[in-house]
Chains A and B, each alone.
Chain A
Amino acid sequence: MKSLAAKNLKGKPLRTAVLVILSALLTFTVFGGTVIVESLDTGLASLENRLGADIMVVPYEAATQKKFEDMVLQGSTGYFYMDSSKLEMIKNTEGVKRVSPQFFLASTSSSCCSVAVQIIGFEPETDFTVTPWIKKSYGKDLEKLDVVVGNDLNAFVGDELSFYGVKCKVAAKLDKTGTGFDTAVFTTEETIKELIRSSLEKKMNDFKDIDPENSVSCIMIDVADGYTAEEVLNDINLHVKRVKAIQSAEMISGVSDSLSGVSGIIRILMTAIWVLGIVILLLAFTLSVNERRKEFAVLRVIGATRARLGRTVICEALIACLSGGAAGICLGILIILPFNDIIEQMLGLPFLLPDAVSIIKYVIIAVILSALSAVAASGTVAARISRIDTGVILRGDN
C-alpha cells in the first residue's frame, strides 16, 4: 500500500508537486516563524542579561537625544561625557549598593571594520556588568591595550587593531548576544582613556575640551536590597544635575513591547496560514480522492479492507506532506540561519538564534506538525472513502 501510495503520487506529478509545495510553505512558515519568535525572545533575554545594572545614569542630553538607547538596542555608535564628580554624588545616594563607571568612544574606521565601532571602557575594580560575561570568553584580567571584541566584528584573538593610532591586541571574542553589543569593543578604563587622549590629540573627538581623567560616560548602578529602582532613580534625577537616570527594565520594556507586537503578528500569521493551508490540503485531497473513487472501488473488489483504503489515502498525504515538510525545513534553515543578521537589522530588535538543540527541537515539531496536518487534511477523506459502497460505485460509473 505504501508503494501504491507512492506510485499514485508519482503518477500525478502536477498534483503531487502542488501538494508538496503547499506543505513546504506551511512547514517553512511554522519553522521559520518559530525560529524568528524564539530568536527575539532569546535576544531580549540576552539583552536583560547583558545590561546587568538596575539603573544607568548618562548625561541628560544623551538620554533625551536617545543616543544611549540606540547604542544599546540598535548597535549605533556614540559617545558623551559628564564630570566624574557625579560618580561620588551618586555613590552617596541612599539605596545605591554599588556603582561602576563606563567610558564610551566611537572609533573611526579600523582594520576590523568598514564602519565605526563602539568602544566601551569599564573599571575592572568596580565593574559588575561587563566583567562577568567577558570572563566567560576570557578567563584572565585584561592587560593595558588589550580589547575584547563583539561577535559580529571581523577580528579574531591575536589580531592587532588600531584605534586613533593606538595599537590594541584582541584578547578575546565574545559570544553572540543579538544586541548592539555584538558590534562593540570592550576594554579597560586605562586603555580607553589612552584612546580618548589620542582622539583629542588628533582632533578627532567631538568633545574638544574634556579631561579623560575626570570624565565618565555612564554610571551603572546596582540598587541595595530594601529599595526600589524607581525610588533611587527619582532621587538621582532630583538631586544630581544634568544627568538622566534610566531604569534598565523600563528601557527593556519598550523593546519587550515591540517584541510582543512583532511576535504576536508572526504567531497570528503562522496560525492563519496553517489553518488556510489545511483547508486547501483538505480540498486537494478531497478532489484527488473523488477523482479516483472507482480506483478505490476496484481495490475493494480485489480484497482491500476498508481500513486499508483509508490507510492508502493517509499514506499518500503523509508522503506528500513530509516531503514538503522536509523541503520547507531545509528552506527555513537556508534562509533564516545564514541571513539572521539581515533579519535582525530589518526588525531592529535584539535577535539571537536559539542554540542547536532548540533548533533541532523546532525541526522535530515542524515535522510532527507536517504529519499532523497531513492526517488532519486526509483523515476525513480517508474515513469517507473507506465507507464507499463498492457495488454502487461500480454501477454508477458505467
Chain B
Amino acid sequence: MLLEARNVSKDFYRETKNTNRFTAVNDISINVSAGELCVLMGRSGSGKTTLLNILSGLLKPTRGSVLLDGKDLYELSDRELSLIRNRSFGVIPQGQTAIQSLKVIENILLPLKLYGKADDKDISFARELLERLDIAHLETAAPAELSGGELRRMAIARALIGKPGFIFADEPTGDLDDENTALVFSFLKERAKAGSGVFIVSHESDAKEYADRVLIMQSGKIERA
C-alpha cells in the first residue's frame, strides 16, 4: 500500500499583516509506504498537524491531491472516504478524544461497531491491546476516571483495533512519562514491522530512534528529509 501526497497546500483564512490568507501547508509532496515508520518533527505552528490531517483524509487540501494506491481520497464520496478512514486508517488525534458516555473497551471497539459488530475475536484483540498498553485494568472504566496518559493509550488502542494499513499519530506520547513513551513508540514500530505505514507527528527527540525516516517541517514546508 502506498499513500502519496502530491503538491498539497492548505490555506486558512485569518487576518495577517498583508493578507487574510495563511498557508499552513505549502506545496508538499511526500509518500508513506507500508511497513515504514515516518516521524514528522518541527516547531509549533509549522503545519505538522495540518499535514497529518490532510494525509489521513480528515482535511481537504486547498490545492493538490492525496492518493491511496493511486485513488484520490478527496475525489471519493463521503461514504467511500469514511469507509477508508474506518478500514484502512487508524488516527490518534491530539488531546483527549474519548467518547465520554462509553466505557474504555466500548471506546476501543467503536470503529468496528460503526460498520458491523465486534465479535469475540475482536474483543480478545482489544483486550490484548489494553494489555500491551498497560491499561488492561481499566477495561470497564469510564473515560472520566482515566488520567491523561491512560486516555492517550486508550486512543492508541482504538486506532489500532481495526489493524489498519496506515496509522497516523499526532503527538501520541504528549501526556506520557518516559517509560510509557518508550512503550508506545516501540509498539508503533512493531506495527510498522508488521506491515502498517506509520506516520507520527512528534516533538519528542526519542521518536527519531524508532523512525525509518525523519522529516522536519518549517513554515508549511518540509525542510529536511
Do A and B pair up? The answer is yes
Query: A301: nearest residue on chain B (CB-CB)?
Result: B91
Task: Judge whether A395 and B49 touch: CB under 8 Å.
Answer: yes
A329 to B98, CA, bound (A): 37
Contacts of A1 in B (CB 8 A): 114
User: Chain B nearest CB: distance from A315 CB in Å?
Assistant: 13
Chain A interface residue bracket vs B: 20 to 34
Task: Judge whether A302 and B59 touch: CB under 8 Å.
Answer: no
A1 to B50, CA, bound (A): 29
User: Chain A nearest CB: distance from B201 CB in Å?
Assistant: 12
A12 to B144, CA, bound (A): 13
Q: Label chain B's interface by main secondary structure.
A: helix
**Interface 9-mer from A225-233, A237-245, A292-300, A340-348:** A292-300
Task: Judge whether B102 and A395 touch: CB under 8 Å.
Answer: no
Q: Label chain A's interface by main secondary structure.
A: helix
A389 to B54, CA, bound (A): 12
User: Among the listed B58, B82, B85, B111, which residue makes an inter-chain contact with A394, where contact means beta carbons less than 8 Å apart?
Assistant: B58
Chain B interface residue bracket vs A: 20 to 34
Task: Judge whether B110 and A302 touch: CB under 8 Å.
Answer: yes
Is A398 on the interface with B (CB-CB < 8 A)?
Answer: yes
Task: Judge whether B87 and A395 touch: CB under 8 Å.
Answer: no
User: Among the listed B83, B84, B99, which residue makes an inter-chain contact with A298, where contact means beta carbons less than 8 Å apart?
Assistant: B99
Task: Judge whether A302 and B49 touch: CB under 8 Å.
Answer: no
Task: Judge whether B83 and A303 touch: CB under 8 Å.
Answer: yes
| Beta-carbon contacts under 8 Å, B156-197 to A | 158
Contacts of B97 in A (CB 8 A): 294, 298, 301, 394
Contact with A along B80-95 (1 / 0, CB 8 A): 0011111100010111
Task: Judge whether A4 and B93 touch: CB under 8 Å.
Answer: no
Contacts of B85 in A (CB 8 A): 300-303
Contacts of A395 in B (CB 8 A): 49-50, 53, 94
Task: Judge whether B50 and A10 touch: CB under 8 Å.
Answer: no
User: Chain A nearest CB: distance from B166 CB in Å?
Assistant: 13
Is A132 on the interface with B (CB-CB < 8 A)?
Answer: no
Contact with B along A246-264 (1 / 0, CB 8 A): 0000000000000000000
Contacts of A394 in B (CB 8 A): 49, 53, 58, 93-95, 97
Contacts of A209 in B (CB 8 A): none
Is A125 on the interface with B (CB-CB < 8 A)?
Answer: no
A395 to B56, CA, bound (A): 14
Is B69 on the interface with A (CB-CB < 8 A)?
Answer: no
Task: Judge whether A304 and B82 touch: CB under 8 Å.
Answer: yes
| Beta-carbon contacts under 8 Å, A273-312 to B | 292, 294-295, 297-308
Task: Judge whether A300 and B58 touch: CB under 8 Å.
Answer: yes
Query: B168: nearest residue on chain A (CB-CB)?
Result: A301
Is A136 on the interface with B (CB-CB < 8 A)?
Answer: no
Task: Judge whether B101 and A390 touch: CB under 8 Å.
Answer: no
Is A397 on the interface with B (CB-CB < 8 A)?
Answer: yes
User: Chain A nearest CB: distance from B79 CB in Å?
Assistant: 5
Contacts of A297 in B (CB 8 A): 93
Residues of A within 8 A of B (CB): 1, 4, 7-8, 10-12, 292, 294-295, 297-308, 389-392, 394-395, 397-398
8 contacts between A and B (CB under 8 A): A7-B106, A11-B100, A11-B101, A298-B99, A301-B58, A303-B86, A303-B114, A391-B59
| Given A304-B82, A391-B59; 11 other pairs, CB 8 A cutoff | A10-B101, A12-B101, A292-B100, A294-B97, A299-B99, A299-B114, A306-B78, A390-B59, A391-B50, A391-B58, A394-B97
